[in-house]
Amino acid sequence: MTGAEILFFILAGLLVFSALMVVLQRDVVYCAMALVAALFLIAILFITLNAPMVGVLQVLVYAGAIMVLFLFVIMFLNPRVSEARPGRWWSLVVAMVLLLGGALAALTTNGDPPADPVATTELFGSPENLAQSLFSDFVLPFEIASVLLLVAMVGAVVLAKRER
């Protein structure tokens, strides 16, 4: 097994564990933090595939903008604040292990060649290749996502302008 495969299995295990923490946690703030860790790990997987633009977009769009929206909704709904219970310190330990594992993975992939032969081309993950693929191969899903976001924005404006 090569170093890239070992790194992939480590990242995949951390990602599955983080995704399970999103589902199994009872506190919504802990769920949101586990989701942030999962999104960062996905971005690291994209970077290991020599697609740095997709990895950066993953962090900016999902871990940045979408998670701000999620946290805004969590604060807007004002869930009951959970009391500090003994034995809950392991959530902090899990979050730290996930972040340190992701940082270690990002540092160790700097010199490894990608295991995928497709990823060895120069244009893999480049802005030109990504735009060409997005606007030629995935036109319908891109337009559906655009309309869905537009409807969500209109719904948010209608809810915000509702009289009290």
| Per-residue model confidence (pLDDT) at position 143 | 86
Return all residues near 126 (Cβ < 8 A) that are at least 6 apart.
Answer: 53
**In this structure, is residue 117 part of a structural domain?**
no
Give the residue, 164 or 22, on which the prediction is more confident. 22
pTM score above 0.85 = no
pLDDT digits (tens, 9 = 90+) for 88-103: 666 667 766 766 776 6
Residues 131 and 71 in one domain: no
| Per-residue model confidence (pLDDT) at position 5 | 81
Tell me the CATH number at 55.
1.20.120.1200
**In this structure, is residue 91 part of a structural domain?**
no
Average confidence (pLDDT) over 59-78: 78
**In this structure, is residue 61 part of a structural domain?**
yes
Domain end (from 20, 55, 79): 79
Mean pLDDT, the chain, whole residue set: 76
What's the structural domain count of the chain?
2
Percent of the chain with pLDDT over 70: 71
Residues 1 and 69 in one domain: yes
**In this structure, is residue 96 part of a structural domain?**
no
Average confidence (pLDDT) over 49-59: 83
Q: Residue 86: is its pLDDT beyond 60? A: no
> Measured between alpha carbons, how far is 52 from 46 in angstroms, rounded to an integer?
7
Q: What's the DSSP call for residue 120?
A: G
Domain end (from 79, 105, 137): 79
Residues 74 and 143 in one domain: no
Taking phi first (over 0 means left), then psi (-120 to 50 degrees means alpha), and beta for anything else, what does residue 86 get?
A: beta
**Whole domain around residue 144: which residue ranges?**
123-164
